Structure 1
Amino acid sequence: MSETAVTPFRVDVPQAEVDDLAERLRRTRWPVGQDLPGDRGIPVERVRALAERWASGWDWRAQEAALNAWPQVTTAVDGTRVHALHVRSPEPDAVPLVLLHGWPGSVVEFLRVLRPLSDPGAHGGDPADAVHLVVPSLPGYGLSGPTPDGGWTPARIARAVAELVARLGYDRYVVHGGDWGSNVGRDLAAADAAHVAGLHVTMTPGPPAEGDPVAEEKVARYARELSGYAKLQGTRPLSLAPALTDSPAGLLAWIAERFAEWTDPASEVDVDQLLTNVAVYWFTRTGPSSAQLYWERAHVPAPDWSRDVPTGVAVLPHDLFRPPRAAVEQAVDLVSWTEFDRGGHFAAMEVPDLLVEELRRFVRAVAR
């Protein structure tokens, strides 16, 4: 088999590992309760309730089957395995759309949007809006990890994604990303502008917030209250590695806190989908390698956005940041700007209906 071969893939976690996860959760050594005023992180009681669900009511085999209901592939790029969901639409003229997750997300994040995007005719939509979907696990994350070495910056990940898309036979494609996916998307547009028909993001890193009071307050609150995880992963990620690998309750608390703080309080994030997302990190031992991306990004110069690729931005009211439109217009070829009335950082999980319609509209604008 050649080094550039793309091979079919199915998730198949040994039963011994599934049993080990449940046993570790049942034997968790929980902190002693204290009367502590103020917001100091996700409450232990909340983590404990999630852990109890994870150990008993949640069914990995059902979640594994849901993942395996979608075609998947792997290929080797730049010394590491790259995994992706590859969902070809029944519409032969569909536009390829790449969906990029971030941290602490995974391909699980997009499960609710796959069918309506790839086969809109089956959901009362226009078959002309159909897209072929490529949903990579970012190198170092989930089924694309752990990576064997360092240096996996967003730019290097972007080059790996471009290579994957080319090996799948797509010459022209649209990209969507949130969180680190928007960083990788930005670098992908710059590195592969000849093939990227458009870039759509739900988080816009880089543009300054000056002059927009709402944007400035979001940035200030993030720095003041919400960025502890990023500071630690950006400076001492190896210090976290044993805890994220050995303690499922610790990994759960670390990830579930992000969902608790970054989502719209009115959103109804499916608990089992959240637990499956955490399980992907657990079974693949990629808590540590995914955290390295923060260190890598902190040690390279900040990249520029491409002005050659048409760019769309969707602003969600409860996302981490609200980019000022004027600043974004100075950085990109802005062809689409949408402000959602609900939703937060994990749009595909929180407001899949809004995201599907937004992506259909954007693909129409840039690639049809």
Structure 2
Amino acid sequence: MSDDHQLQSPVRRRLCTAAAAAPLVAAPFGLLSSKENSMNETTQKTGGANAAVRPFKYNASDADLADLRRRIEATRWPDRETVQDSKQGVQLATIQKLAQHWATKYDWRKVESRINAIPNFIMNIDGLDFHFMHIRSKHENALPLLVAHGWPGSIIEQMKIIGPLTDPTAHGGGEADAFHLVIPSMPGYGFSARPTTTGWNPPRIADAYNELMKRLGYTKWGAAGGDWGAIVVEQMALKTPPGLVGIHTNMANVIPPDLDKILFQGDPVPTNLTGDEKHAAEQLHEFYRHIGYAVLMGDRPQTLTGLTDSPVGLAAFMIDHDPASYEMIARSISGTPEGLSPDDVLDNVTLFWLTNTAISAGRLYWENKTPFFSVKGVKIPVAVSAFPDELFQAPKSWAEQAYPKLVHYNKLPKGGHFAAWEQPKFYSEEVRAGFKTLR
């Protein structure tokens, strides 16, 4: 974005620099005692330095789950929308169906067991406790890969890709496609600590992620991300740490800054664009009309206190990230098989609820000063996967201009903003292809 664009009012500045992301964290209802009971601090030598790595497990209390159900059942509902579609936001029938499923059929213990079956750890970096999953492949020559989530996502987004990436021979790939995975929770999200001071923005998170990989003893690694994760991995690349061989993104930051300014202001899409460029510009132009959630979190996140008091209010806020994602989720709630099931959605929302992180996660929008979609100046190798229902499907022409070392570009036939979560097969294949020449 241009300097003029960055110097607009605080709301618009933060929105423009933070508009389009995706996931949500406080002293979760039983999280402190769970940490104390389940983490035995050990010392692990990594990369020539001693780093405290504490094993981690999480178990929600029965009382917290009963309280969640009670709150869902006690929801005070609004009037039905006065239109026949989703122009006014999450439709009453949709959120009521999701709430009924949540209160009567959903079982948090299933995903909790899956989380705890994965090696989870806590490490203090820059004064903050970072939670991360660390899954090593059985294949010796696997490439270490950090995978970063965004908002309203979490580690839940990446769990479907753990098998395909760490054990590719069991998922249609070869031994040479294997990765060791490191999947961190962002500050203020999930099981990571919630910052009590300001300053935790994408560049600082990038520093912490680079430090995490170094402390784990990796001298060569890649990074991949979508939503905020796409912003963070580009910031990791801009730091040019010696071990980072390249990045993969499914939300490429390739919009020419002048065009981004035009689209954000709501001006007409220019006519001097190619077909793919025009399509991407039209998608982003439309998305910029639906960024109220980012305005609120970018300007006054603490005002959203209701999200910590009403689980149904939290769920409605989280599923309305962007129109395409909402429509896909709404179809799923109505019974149409989609990339995300109602249980998938509730796994993520329930994690936010139990860890009480709606506000602490939302503060990332307030902290951010980094443009979301425009070119950042990444010089290391980059792989781009362009999914059709992303906020915009990045054209190859823009990707080539934004990334001088573009090593992979592909347009996918299906999938949207939460690519790893929605289309884990496509996403895993793309990550393999993206890093094939960088191992």
Same fold (TM over 0.5): yes
Greater CA drift, 144-153 or 242-251: 144-153
TM-fit CA distance, 1:299: 7.7
Please say if 1:233 is aligned against 2:281: no
Question: Partners in 2 of 1:206 and 1:124 — Cα distance?
Answer: 31
> Residues 384 and 410 of structure 2 are in contact (CA less than 8 Å); yes or no, is this contact kept in structure 1?
yes
TM-score normalised to structure 2 length: 0.78
Please say if 1:261 is aligned against 2:324: yes
TM-fit CA distance, 1:186: 0.4
Question: Partners in 2 of 1:300 and 1:350 — Cα distance?
Answer: 25
- SS of the equivalent of 1:277 reads helix
Q: Which of the residues 279, 290, 306 maps onto 1:214?
A: 279
Greater CA drift, 252-261 or 230-239: 252-261
> Residues 263 and 319 of structure 1 are in contact (CA less than 8 Å); yes or no, is this contact kept in structure 2?
no
Q: Determine the structure 2 residue equivalent to 1:12.
A: 59
> Aligned in 2, Cα 1:227/1:256: closer, same or farther, shift over 3 Å?
same
Q: Determine the structure 2 residue equivalent to 1:176.
A: 224
Q: Determine the structure 2 residue equivalent to 1:293.
A: 364
Segments of 5+ residues of structure 1 without an aligned counterpart are none
Question: Partners in 2 of 1:300 and 1:334 — Cα distance?
Answer: 20
Question: Partners in 1 of 2:323 and 2:423 — Cα distance?
Answer: 16
Q: Determine the structure 2 residue equivalent to 1:358.
A: 430
- SS of the equivalent of 1:10 reads coil
Question: Partners in 2 of 1:82 and 1:69 — Cα distance?
Answer: 19
TM-fit CA distance, 1:301: 11
Query: What amino acid does structure 2 have at the position aligned with 1:223?
Result: Y
Segments of 5+ residues of structure 2 without an aligned counterpart are 1-40, 44-49, 260-269, 329-336
Greater CA drift, 344-353 or 35-44: 35-44
Deviations 1:171-196 (Å, cap 9, x if unpaired)? 11111110000000000111143111
Question: Partners in 2 of 1:35 and 1:207 — Cα distance?
Answer: 36
Query: What amino acid does structure 1 have at the position aligned with 2:195?
Result: T
Question: Partners in 1 of 2:158 and 2:178 — Cα distance?
Answer: 16
Question: Partners in 2 of 1:360 and 1:302 — Cα distance?
Answer: 24
Q: Determine the structure 1 residue equivalent to 2:196.
A: 148
> Aligned in 2, Cα 1:302/1:65: closer, same or farther, shift over 3 Å?
closer
TM-fit CA distance, 1:323: 2.7
Please say if 1:249 is aligned against 2:312: yes
Please say if 1:313 is aligned against 2:384: yes
Question: Partners in 1 of 2:327 and 2:140 — Cα distance?
Answer: 37
Q: Determine the structure 2 residue equivalent to 1:94.
A: 142
> Residues 324 and 416 of structure 2 are in contact (CA less than 8 Å); yes or no, is this contact kept in structure 1?
no
TM-fit CA distance, 1:297: 1.4
- SS of the equivalent of 1:19 reads helix
Query: What amino acid does structure 2 have at the position aligned with 1:277?
Result: N
Q: Determine the structure 1 residue equivalent to 2:350.
A: 279
Question: Partners in 2 of 1:40 and 1:348 — Cα distance?
Answer: 28
TM-fit CA distance, 1:120: 1.3
Root mean square deviation, CA, Å = 2.2
Q: Determine the structure 1 residue equivalent to 2:179.
A: 131
> Residues 146 and 285 of structure 1 are in contact (CA less than 8 Å); yes or no, is this contact kept in structure 2?
no
Matches within 5 A, 1:27-42: 27-33=74-80, 35-36=82-83, 39-42=87-90
Deviations 1:97-118 (Å, cap 9, x if unpaired)? 1111110000100111101110
Deviations 1:16-73 (Å, cap 9, x if unpaired)? 1111111111111111335345610010211111111112211111110011111111
> Aligned in 2, Cα 1:34/1:218: closer, same or farther, shift over 3 Å?
closer
Deviations 1:93-144 (Å, cap 9, x if unpaired)? 2110111111000010011110111011223431221110001111111111
Q: Determine the structure 1 residue equivalent to 2:113.
A: 65
Question: Partners in 1 of 2:202 and 2:228 — Cα distance?
Answer: 8
Q: Which of the residues 122, 125, 134 maps onto 1:74?
A: 122
> Aligned in 2, Cα 1:231/1:259: closer, same or farther, shift over 3 Å?
closer
TM-fit CA distance, 1:150: 1.8
Question: Partners in 2 of 1:257 and 1:34 — Cα distance?
Answer: 15
> Residues 253 and 372 of structure 2 are in contact (CA less than 8 Å); yes or no, is this contact kept in structure 1?
no
Question: Partners in 1 of 2:327 and 2:308 — Cα distance?
Answer: 29
> Aligned in 2, Cα 1:32/1:175: closer, same or farther, shift over 3 Å?
same
Deviations 1:221-274 (Å, cap 9, x if unpaired)? 0112x211111111111111x111111011100011227633684833122121
> Residues 153 and 297 of structure 1 are in contact (CA less than 8 Å); yes or no, is this contact kept in structure 2?
yes
